[in-house]
Amino acid sequence: MTGDSKTLIVERLLRFPPERVWRALTVPHLMAEWLMKGDFAPRVDHRFQLTSDHVTVDCQVRRIEEGRVLAYTWDAYGLVTWTLTPVPEGTLLRMEQAGFRRDQGQAYGGARQGWPRFLDRMEQVLQGRME
């Protein structure tokens, strides 16, 4: 936690090469399988929405380093940054969601429970065919 905001960090060792993980993070039909449906495009400043049956999240791409770093805003709940680090076993994936205000405790708790589940689903997508 820094100042008046909280940060959530989730790391996962994935036994897949960074290129494969990057595709899961940036290809809309793959994102729909583990995260939410959306009109994502890997371009800085691109505005997009992620939707599920119960929620719509407005986002904007803030940073891209092809195959290494992807960051986008997550509605009113800060900035989500994905960092991919190649390791001998595959890829160390780090998700950081920074910027939860102190009065957003419920949203922080939801993210703390939700992101690990999203990453579980991403692993399932990575294990399947990714076309």
Give the residue among 103, 106, 102, 128 at the shortest CA–CA distance from 16.
128
Distance CA 79, CA 104 (A): 14
Alpha carbon distance, N-terminus to C-terminus of the chain: 39
**5-125 belongs to which CATH class?**
alpha beta
**What's the pLDDT at 76?**
84
What strands, in cross-sheet order, belong to the sheet with 56-65?
5-14, 90-101, 79-87, 69-73, 56-65, 47-51, 37-38
Q: Which residues of the chain have pLDDT under 50?
A: 1
Q: Which residues on adjacent β-strands are paired with residue 58?
A: 49
pLDDT score of 4: 79
State the pTM of this model: 0.92
14: tokens are 């994935």
Q: How far is CA 103 from CA 13, 43, 53, 98, 107, in A?
A: 32, 31, 25, 14, 9
Q: Residue 84's pLDDT is what? A: 98
